[in-house]
Amino acid sequence: MSAIIEALHIRKLFGDLEVLRDMSVTVEEGEVVCLIGPSGSGKSTFLRCLNRLENIQGGTIKVLGEDISAIKEVNRFRANIGMVFQHFNLFPNYSVLGNMTLAPVTLKKYRRQEAVKKAEELLLQVGLSDKRDVYPVTLSGGQKQRVAIARALEMNPKIMLFDEPTSALDPEMVGEVLDVMRKLAQQGMTMVVVTHEMGFARDVADRVIFMDNGYIVEEGTPRELFEHPRTERCQAFLSSVQ
């Protein structure tokens, strides 16, 4: 096992507001790390720094061995990292298949036929083979998010980032999305997940990080963190969500 993400002493400012202060996180290959904590604690911002959707003001982030601040071809770099958003962000002007094949075909990663074949395999995996040709507007929230996951996987990423993937879903659809993510974790994907689903974090994560106010307050295995939280803030948070 080797570190696939190595973030050291990250600082991130929005204007004068310091949202990340001295964050250090290392993620090993194949590891599933869940970030939990109250809203506004900087979890999502940290995630977005990892693929440079946000730029950092201090510290260094190494992903797949490269210092990402120094990367010139940011598009080539991003293609290796899948990202799943809270609000799905499917492209409404493309069919499900179009959503999935657009990036790999445009970036000439695969030829069209190969991209379609891979998309069909992935749709089978997420249980949406019959939705291949429909437009996103006809899908339910859970289906949209499963397509979004498949779309990210189509690029064959080495890392998957999930930004509150179930927060915008109706309760009865949360399960189907978490099942897909669970399967992905079992296949050995490196995953960083910002989530409010404590059950998922407990079952699937190798490590859980509790953040508050731009800091890492506590970090450990799910067992350590959920059953024996050491800090008061973490205890208070866990008792308020459970």
To the nearest whole angstrom, how small is the minimum distance from the Cβ of residue 10 to another protein? 19
Q: Which is nearer to another protein, 2 or 75 (by Cβ)?
A: 75
Beta-strand (E) ranges in 81-143? 81-84
- C-alpha distances in Å from residue 242, one per residue of 228, 234, 239: 14, 12, 5
Q: How many residues does the chain have?
A: 242
Query: Edge to edge, what strands does the sheet with 207-212 contain?
Result: 81-84, 159-163, 190-194, 32-36, 207-212, 215-220
To the nearest whole angstrom, how small is the minimum distance from the Cβ of residue 241 to another protein? 26
To the nearest whole angstrom, how small is the minimum distance from the Cβ of residue 215 to another protein? 26
Where do the H-state alpha helices sit in 58-95? Answer: 74-78
Q: Which is nearer to another protein, 1 or 137 (by Cβ)?
A: 137
Residues that bind another protein (CB under 8 A): 51, 53, 75-76, 78-79, 81-83, 85, 87, 89-93, 102-103, 106-107, 134-135, 137-138, 148, 151-152, 155
Q: Which is nearer to another protein, 134 or 198 (by Cβ)?
A: 134
Q: Quick one: which of 169, 5, 158 has its CA closest to 83? A: 158
Angstrom distance (rounded) from CA 242 to CA 230:
17
Q: Which is nearer to another protein, 79 or 198 (by Cβ)?
A: 79
